Structure 1
Amino acid sequence: MASDNALSQILTTQQMRDAEQRIFDAGMPEFDLMQLASGRAAEWVRRIAAGRSVTVLCGPGNNGGDGYVIAHCLQKAGLEVTIVAPEAPKTPSAKQALALWGDDVLTSGGSVQGEVFVDCLFGSGLTRKLSGEHSLLLRDLAERHQMAIALDVPSGIASDSGAVLNERLPRFDVTLALGAWKFAHCLLPARDKMGTQRLVPIGVSALEEAAVRVTKPKLAPPAFADHKYSRGLAAIVGGDMPGASVLAAQAAMRAGAGYVKLAVHEAPNAGPELVVDTSHVRVALDDKRINAVLIGPGLARHEGSIKALETALKCKGALVLDADALHLVEPHMLDPQMSVLATPHDGELDALCRKFAIVADGRMARAKALAAMSGMVICAKGPDTIIASPQGEVAIAPPAPSWLSIAGTGDVLAGIAVSRMANGSDPFTAACEAVWLHGEAARICGPAFTSLELAQSVGRALARCL
């Protein structure tokens, strides 16, 4: 049985090759592994096809070899199968797979029509555009079928970056990842081409250095002997726009911390359940029981905000920096010994990279470089949220509902994060927990919710982790 880490890891093309080589070194021949992987993928295709005819597009490499094996398995199961292969197999395993198929192969798509189309032209490892002939063939076959399935990574997609290499590539209904997730499965714009994703395990072991997909956290209810302080005190520093910090506090109260305090100079209408401290921020944060502090939502960007940020940065506990705090913080303010989580959106990520003189290509590269340079855990939030630690750990969140694209949802995410850190999670783990709970709360809300409704759903999301 594969471990949870093995099933959630995200591998580069080279890491996947190395993982397969370890399987070969353990005694499994390459063609046997191809049959194992393709046989399991074929079972997915068979269930999806549900008796309908299938067309398989095979390329000249091992991805095409997988296609021949899939076709053979489907034909044995009684399905009507057509193979289109514009080039003959070039690898030993692909040639063996063609011999296993042992039936006619069309070299041109021509007028081939069917009900389910399976793309096995090129998989992971592709770094250049498809030829015009291959691109047209792929597109035409996809358009002439009712459903399209991609094996491993759709042809025309860069596996390691998620780049779409050709224009007008078809969108697939299902993508079957072989052995492990690839970065293209997790990152835009490639992810948007893949439809529903399913992992086909083949016995790849977990790699310590691999990135991972964010999965549902395993949380525990409070112990019977717990009290509000043992569960963690989270302090949230408000500012000129108190609504944002109240949203964060509403989420924090439902994400596990035992005590949430809002430090703001003027008491908002926040409800009786929230502790509001209107004393000076230095006094409010001068409490040794505070485990984690959030500053940024609604803070504003003036001299008083900078002083509040400097005060928060002197606290001994963990710290979450969000919103305005990300524009105000300077490299010299950060203490390498502090546990800091920063939650920038793309504009804030770019601003932080300029401050730390980071030049890198792509969001993931920028997040990793910023984490390494600043010592902060970076949660680069967006439709493909990336979490990076100073030690090189990387996690990528699964897709969350697009209804999250409203004002205030970032404040809710920051509130969940500070609550998880107050409850004892390290910044990287807290970021992963917060991102999952945030997405699950959105799913619970359904369409067209408000940020307050999102914050109020966090407790139900947490309940699903117990």
Structure 2
Amino acid sequence: MPRNRDHVLRQVLTVAQMRDAENALISNGTSVDELMQRAGRGAGEWVRRIAAGRSVTILCGPGNNGGDGWVIAEYLWGAGNQVSVIEAREAATDAARTARSLYHGAVRAVSDTCQGDVLVDCLFGSGLTRALPDDLHALLAGLAARHPLRVAIDVPSGVDSDTGAVLNEGLPDWTMTIALGAWKHGHFGMPARNNMGALRLVDIGVDAQACAARVLKKPLIEAPAFDAHKYRRGLLGVVGGAMPGAGLLAARAGQHGGAGYVKLAVERRFLPGLPADLVVTDRGALLGDARIAALLVGPGLGRDEQAEQALREILCAGRPTVIDADALVLLKPGMLGEAACVVTPHEGEMAALESSFGLASKGLRRERALALAQASGAVVVFKGADSLIAAPDGALVVSSPASSWLSVAGTGDVLAGTIASRLAVHGDALRAAEEGLWLHGEAARLCGAAFTAGELAAAIRPALEECLA
């Protein structure tokens, strides 16, 4: 395998793409048995570490996920762990039967109500699209209740790996889920992601696949050049409106996101006690400043005729722009020009945009985001518990869920300001969206519990410090 496989290991595959990736390896001479050994031994090492000498029960199904379970069991048995296997269904593939024949440890009856320390779910992996049969669902639930530590292999049984949909009610919570070969969309999709615990990946040698999504990663951000000044670092213009506090929050986040200069266009009388380091101006002066590197419009803008006129003026300026909040409801296809643009809708705003652009509000979240990106020409940050980013060229970036404490007023304004700040620094819409989304999630982690949007905006700075080259 190549020494540096970071770009490959960040890809997120559908079931069909994963099948193609494995078939490519097989066509090049790697046997199915060898792939199963790679997957099972890699997962077995993770299980061995979790078990730390404690007893392990492995539940094996009939397919190749069950075969992986037999390999894990043999790996643990060889390492001296106390391990036993429950064969829920007889092995039904050649590779699974081979793995079954190589196992030397104990096999328990399905009727055995065993207890143990660690349960390993190898019942069904990726590719499952229907609910578990009642007997297997009951077996899995009962074993999970009698094992305090629970590990799912590839994708938890009862989860659709292409969507993250939960196919059975009452599925167990998992301590860890170990993906095999590549991440699947179900590892990041709600509601299943909420119950998967820690995520780990076993590399089995698959190559990069065309059109694959990728996982959002920590960005690498360079400090300003030695001879930098405030305009060279990026001048960000934030346009406020009827609710000026939202614009102020976005501007504060922009100041911490790396831009060299942030100007807020809002009526001064609405904001007594403005911080001394934030320049306040009017919209006309802001749009007339040729040094503006990026604009942000939407937080607190309002939705009346004056707000719509302001949005038109801003988009006519032809600058890289982040469009958020109220501006998303007002946005129409004819308003967008050629400049780089990022839109940041939540579910309700997404539906409004889909209506404006003649798109159907149905399908998977990633499909909807990609359709809007293609129709609008903008990079789409589709916010939610499972936020993702879609670009007009088909690039798709998925992120792990951020802190649930983000469910407080104003945090969307902070995200928009952070993305806009990064856009002012370098002008690349997709890169700015990725950097802003990661910084926003990390800032939430640093804040801990019950933070305010203002505290989140301040935490963008230490989050950015973690990314410095």
Name the TM tier (shorter chain): over 0.9
- Equivalent runs, 1:10-49 vs 2, <5 Å: 10-49=12-51
**1:193 matched residue in structure 2:** 195
Aligned-partner Cα distance in 2 for 1:176–1:2: 21
Whether the 8 Å CA contact 1:327–1:348 is kept in 2: the answer is yes
Aligned-partner Cα distance in 2 for 1:453–1:146: 37
Whether the 8 Å CA contact 2:77–2:104 is kept in 1: the answer is no
Q: Please, which of 409, 419, 425 is the counterpart of residue 421 of structure 2?
A: 419
AA in 2 matched with 1:417? I
RMSD over aligned CA atoms reads: 1.2
Residue 242 of structure 1 deviates from its aligned partner by 0.9
User: Over residues 330-377 of structure 1, what are the superposed CA-to-partner deviations in whole Å (9 max), with x where a residue is unaligned?
Assistant: 122122x22110001111111111222211313222111111111111
Task: State yes or no: 1:232 paired with 2:231.
Answer: no
Q: TM (normalized to structure 2)? A: 0.96
**2:170 matched residue in structure 1:** 168
- Between stretches 406-415 and 344-353, larger displacement belongs to 344-353
Residue 288 of structure 1 deviates from its aligned partner by 1.4
- Equivalent runs, 1:54-133 vs 2, <5 Å: 54-133=56-135
- Between stretches 216-225 and 348-357, larger displacement belongs to 348-357
AA in 2 matched with 1:327? V
Residue 107 of structure 1 deviates from its aligned partner by 4.2
Residue 205 of structure 1 deviates from its aligned partner by 2.1
Residue 102 of structure 1 deviates from its aligned partner by 3.9
**1:266 matched residue in structure 2:** 268
**1:338 matched residue in structure 2:** 339
User: Over residues 293-341 of structure 1, what are the superposed CA-to-partner deviations in whole Å (9 max), with x where a residue is unaligned?
Assistant: 0000011111111111011111122011001001111122122x22110
Aligned-partner Cα distance in 1 for 2:355–2:286: 32
**2:465 matched residue in structure 1:** 463
Stretches of structure 2 that go unaligned for 5 or more consecutive residues are none
Query: Secondary structure of the residue that 2:127 maps to in structure 1?
Result: coil
Stretches of structure 1 that go unaligned for 5 or more consecutive residues are none
Whether the 8 Å CA contact 1:3–1:206 is kept in 2: the answer is no
User: Over residues 44-102 of structure 1, what are the superposed CA-to-partner deviations in whole Å (9 max), with x where a residue is unaligned?
Assistant: 00010011111100011110000000000111111111111122111111011001114
Aligned-partner Cα distance in 2 for 1:92–1:119: 20
Query: Secondary structure of the residue that 1:127 maps to in structure 2?
Result: coil
Residue 207 of structure 1 deviates from its aligned partner by 2.7
Q: Please, which of 290, 301, 304 is the counterpart of residue 302 of structure 1?
A: 304
Residue 104 of structure 1 deviates from its aligned partner by 4.5
Residue 262 of structure 1 deviates from its aligned partner by 0.6
Q: 1:103 to 1:16 in 2, by over 3 A?
A: same
**2:356 matched residue in structure 1:** 355
Query: Secondary structure of the residue that 2:204 maps to in structure 1?
Result: coil
Whether the 8 Å CA contact 1:87–1:107 is kept in 2: the answer is no
Q: 1:305 to 1:226 in 2, by over 3 A?
A: same
Aligned-partner Cα distance in 2 for 1:316–1:370: 20
Task: State yes or no: 1:242 paired with 2:279.
Answer: no
Whether the 8 Å CA contact 1:292–1:421 is kept in 2: the answer is yes
Q: Please, which of 390, 398, 401 is the counterpart of residue 399 of structure 1?
A: 401
Residue 2 of structure 1 deviates from its aligned partner by 4.2
Query: Secondary structure of the residue that 1:253 maps to in structure 2?
Result: helix
AA in 1 matched with 2:414? V
Q: TM (normalized to structure 1)? A: 0.97
Residue 227 of structure 1 deviates from its aligned partner by 1.1
Residue 191 of structure 1 deviates from its aligned partner by 0.2
AA in 1 matched with 2:298? G
**1:438 matched residue in structure 2:** 440
Residue 9 of structure 1 deviates from its aligned partner by 1.1
AA in 2 matched with 1:93? A
Whether the 8 Å CA contact 1:2–1:203 is kept in 2: the answer is no
Whether the 8 Å CA contact 2:83–2:105 is kept in 1: the answer is no
Aligned-partner Cα distance in 1 for 2:437–2:297: 18
Residue 208 of structure 1 deviates from its aligned partner by 4.3
**2:451 matched residue in structure 1:** 449
Aligned-partner Cα distance in 1 for 2:109–2:4: 39
Q: Please, which of 385, 409, 412 is the counterpart of residue 410 of structure 1?
A: 412
Query: Secondary structure of the residue that 1:382 maps to in structure 2?
Result: coil
User: Over residues 267-292 of structure 1, what are the superposed CA-to-partner deviations in whole Å (9 max), with x where a residue is unaligned?
Assistant: 52320101111x3x233211111111
- Between stretches 218-227 and 281-290, larger displacement belongs to 281-290
Residue 106 of structure 1 deviates from its aligned partner by 3.1
Query: Secondary structure of the residue that 1:270 maps to in structure 2?
Result: coil
User: Over residues 367-419 of structure 1, what are the superposed CA-to-partner deviations in whole Å (9 max), with x where a residue is unaligned?
Assistant: 11111111111101111101111111111112211111100000000000110
Aligned-partner Cα distance in 1 for 2:465–2:436: 14
User: Over residues 424-455 of structure 1, what are the superposed CA-to-partner deviations in whole Å (9 max), with x where a residue is unaligned?
Assistant: 14111111110100011111111111111111
Query: Secondary structure of the residue that 2:220 maps to in structure 1?
Result: coil
Query: Secondary structure of the residue that 1:316 maps to in structure 2?
Result: coil
- Equivalent runs, 1:365-404 vs 2, <5 Å: 365-404=367-406
AA in 1 matched with 2:278? L
Whether the 8 Å CA contact 1:178–1:201 is kept in 2: the answer is yes
Task: State yes or no: 1:144 paired with 2:146.
Answer: yes
Query: Secondary structure of the residue that 2:85 maps to in structure 1?
Result: strand
AA in 2 matched with 1:198? R
**2:183 matched residue in structure 1:** 181
- Between stretches 107-116 and 443-452, larger displacement belongs to 107-116
User: Over residues 194-215 of structure 1, what are the superposed CA-to-partner deviations in whole Å (9 max), with x where a residue is unaligned?
Assistant: 0111111122222342111111
- Equivalent runs, 1:209-220 vs 2, <5 Å: 209-220=211-222
Aligned-partner Cα distance in 1 for 2:77–2:138: 27
